[in-house]
Structure 1
Amino acid sequence: MASDPHESVVVSQAVIGCDAAARVLEVAVVHARQLGVRINVAVADSGGNLAAFLRMPGAFVQSIDIAIDKAYTAAGFGFSTGDWMQVIGHDEGMKLGFSARPRLVVFGGGLPIRIDGVLIGGVGVSGASEAQDEACARAALAAIGAEVTQDNEQG
């Protein structure tokens, strides 16, 4: 396995800080209360590792793992989980193959977290409708100054 002699042995990777991750949770829950729904919300760092999680009392227990996996998927691929089917398009093999992967979520509620164009993590919300989950995630991103544009979500 040949390597570039100029390649560094140690590579730094930007990740979301713990204070920002906590703020994402807080704002997502506040927005959920305004919508009258109960959610689970997770934040993953840019490596897909769980950085923060919060479950509102009464939120669906089954949605715990879904929220975590939405954050993981958005962080790992750098675009909205709701955009998966558009990104894959007409390729049936990719649709079947990717959707069969453990932890990969292909419906809305997971958004990448980017600051100044740098992917630092992902947020996943689950427990309400797809649109409500995504609205909670968007509100949380806005609260920490993360990019929430459509272009950002496409990678």
Structure 2
Amino acid sequence: MSFTTPSSALTDEGVAALLRAAIDAATAMGQPQCIVIVDQSGVLLASFRMRGSRYLSLKSATAKARTAASLAAPSHSVPDSAKLLLAAATQNEATGLRGGLPIRVGGMLIGGIGIGSGSGEQDEDVAREALAAIGADLP
């Protein structure tokens, strides 16, 4: 019987690279964004609000990142029938909104990224570009 399991974590450089790639992608599309990165337990590693993004989107980006890390799946994978219940049960700490993706490298979950302030599709596109920049698995 084993009492340990292998794990991996984002480095400071990895977090910075995710942020830089997300900022660059949002700038290229002309849509300022809120960007949040959490570890696999949902603990905040980085939070950045681009000038011109919506203040309230910082809260939803955090919920998207935590949901993606917690479910090990995109935040929008929450079934429609469960979205309101999830938000209520977690006091809006989790959400079914589009824009949160798990961060996996080599199949191992190491965190979540949440993007908010654009359309759901724009948010997810920025998250995908950030994941690609560090060589993470794309969902």
Q: Which whole-Å CA distance do the structure 1 matches of 2:49 and 2:127 have between them?
A: 14
Q: 2:86 aligns to what?
A: 98
Aligned length: 137
Q: Give the aligned CA root-mean-square deviation in angstroms.
A: 1.7
- AA aligned opposite 2:47: F
- AA aligned opposite 1:126: G
SS in 2 for 1:107: coil
- The superposition leaves residues 87-126 of structure 1 with CA deviations (integer Å, 9 ceiling, x where unpaired) of xxxxx5x455323222111010000000000000000000
Q: What is the correspondence of 1:26-45 to structure 2 with a 5 Å cutoff? A: 26-45=20-39
Q: Which whole-Å CA distance do the structure 1 matches of 2:133 and 2:46 have between them?
A: 16
CA 1:40–1:96: 2 relative to 1, 3 Å: closer
Give, in angstroms, the shift of residue 18 of structure 1: 1.5
1:47 to 41, 50, 70: 41
Q: 2:16 aligns to what?
A: 22
Q: What is the correspondence of 1:1-155 to structure 2 with a 5 Å cutoff? A: 6=1, 8=3, 13-85=7-79, 92=81, 94-100=82-88, 101-102=90-91, 103-149=93-139
Structure with max Cα Rg = 1
SS in 2 for 1:57: coil
TM-score calculated relative to the size of structure 1: 0.81
Q: Is the 8 A contact 1:14 1:46 kept in 2?
A: no
Q: Which whole-Å CA distance do the structure 1 matches of 2:119 and 2:83 have between them?
A: 22
Q: Which whole-Å CA distance do the structure 1 matches of 2:37 and 2:83 have between them?
A: 25
Q: Which whole-Å CA distance do the structure 1 matches of 2:99 and 2:83 have between them?
A: 19
Q: Is the 8 A contact 1:16 1:46 kept in 2?
A: no
Unaligned runs of 5+ in 1: 1-5, 87-91, 150-155
- The superposition leaves residues 4-52 of structure 1 with CA deviations (integer Å, 9 ceiling, x where unpaired) of xx453x6664222221111111111111111110100010001110011
TM-score calculated relative to the size of structure 2: 0.90
